[in-house]
Chain A
Amino acid sequence: MTPSQQAAAFLTLLIKECLRFIRIWVQTVLPAAVTMSLYFVIFGGLIGSQLADVKGLRYMDYIVPGIILMAVINNAYANVVSSFFSAKFQRHIEEMLVSPMPNWLIVAGYTAGGMARGLVVGLAVTVVAAWFTDLQVHSWPVVVAVVLLTTMLFALGGLINAVFARSFDDISIIPTFVLTPLTYLGGVFYSIDMLPGFWQQASRLNPVLYMVSAFRYGMQGVADVPLAVSFALIIGFVVILFAAAVWLLHRGVGVRS
């Protein structure tokens, strides 16, 4: 395929993926906005008002970046894992497999679709957050870069999950038993400085911590880990997962006989 043909194929897949989640926005966008509103009301408003400031910020203000990023992570992942698995399940993934689209382009298209949903949901949650707090941005480039890289990383993760999945159970196991605990323990609701020594070090093994920390830096200028370390880690994971996803499709794992 020529570069212009590749661009047309990429746009086709991106538009298809966007139409998919927009068509069912009540299932894909609205729940995140409602759930995150509850977080703001309960943790930020009711409980948070009884708590001391964290790193010089009101508790409500402190948790906003983490909650936005949690919604972004969950939705970028959920979009690709459900869309790709559904394509496998209904076998319409074959539409792409018989076409001349290279594997990296299929991965890129699905990833972009997941990123799009992550960004739309992130925007919706941000709008909700604006009702509860005065949103400030310390560094736009950091905010944009962290959100784009994080959605990319988790969209790729969702795709790899879907490649291996053989049933609908398999696409909910990772989000439930891996993604949710990592997110909750990734410094969304607290600073790791508040943890005892051992748990501070253990928390550093959690990749979500680095994303939340970098995003919080972008919004509020405070971070649990140095920004450079966060970016290096996120970019490293993106490169590894992208390569792994392309390799899996090349090997035909889960999609070719």
Chain B
Amino acid sequence: MTVPALEIENLTKTYRNGVQALRGVDLRVEEGEFFALLGPNGAGKSTTIGIICSLVRKSGGRVAVFGHDIDREMEAAKSCIGLVPQEFNFNQFEPVEEIVINQAGYYGIPRRRARPRAEACLRQLGLWDQRRVMARELSGGQKRRLMIARALVHEPRMLILDEPTAGVDIEVRRSMWAFLRETNARGTTIILTTHYLEEAEALCRRVAIIDHGRTIENSAMRDLLMQLHVETFILNTREALAEVPAVEGYTLRRVDEHTLEADVERERSVNGLFEQLSRQGVHVLSMRNKSNRLEELFLRRVGRAQP
């Protein structure tokens, strides 16, 4: 049996103010996986990541990174991890290249070897031209990419990204997705937390959901999405509708005179819906999901689905 990239058993954390952030988190991430760690705000995702990276002291439980228990082999465990935190946490008054070279140095890489590594990382992330710029002068997207370059400079076996695309525009987000896919394809295990569930669905093959400090889901993305029995679609019609057309086997709701909402069970084909609408002289111009599939499941699992 192979050693998992990350193994967490019954992880608990109670802060000094009495807040119980984690009440028993269990996770297992295999080497090479692209893993999504999801949960609502305050669920315990960042606390879990903080404990893995030793920024937060755990109250109980066990964490092992590539078989290195963080209680006994913290240095070895840390060597395997690259962290991209949620908040910008680099020296704003330092040049971009220095930040990346210094990070390599903290992992024991001498400057003569750190320089070419930093150059490779900065080029990959499109920051080489900004290498002499003070970090505070970068745009939001560039700052996010700088943190990824910094996290990768020591070539970690596992990359942990805590909401890496928060606040960046779609173009930058898509290019970061492509970069992360390449990084994962080269063998780096990736753990991603995000509030953009479409991001998790697009990138990750496995997903865990944490809520109220507990793991409430840990499965393959495909298996999780299979749990979605009903999908809701928004249909835009050419004809103005005064009332909801009568269709069999589907639930329709009228949003406005040109818009319908349709609930379609997973086993049913949408063709049947189109045929019935067509017979009644209703032509569908376009169709889209009401919400992302993972988002719908997520809301149901954390008990916050709309009635």
Contact = CB atoms under 8 A, between A and B. Distances in A.
B250 interface: no
B140 interface: no
A97 interface: yes
Contacts of B98: 16, 19
Interface of A: 1-2, 4-6, 8-9, 11-13, 15-16, 19, 86-87, 90-92, 94-102, 252, 256-257
B116 to A, nearest CB: 15
Nearest to A94: B89
Contacts of A11: 105, 110-111
A92 B90 contact: yes
A99 to B, nearest CB: 4
A101 to B, nearest CB: 5
12 contacts: A2-B108, A9-B108, A12-B106, A16-B102, A16-B105, A97-B53, A97-B54, A98-B83, A99-B78, A100-B76, A100-B106, A256-B57
B137 interface: no
Main secondary structure on A side of the interface with B: helix
Nearest to A91: B89
Interface residues of B, number: 36
A99 B106 contact: yes
Contacts of B111: 8, 11-12, 15
Interface in B250-281: none
A114 B294 CA distance: 52
Given A1-B75, A256-B56, A94 B107 contact: no
Contacts of A94: 55, 85, 89
Contact of A252 (B47, B57, B110): B57
Interface string B138-176: 000000000000100000000000000000000000000
Given A252-B57, A256-B57, A13 B92 contact: no
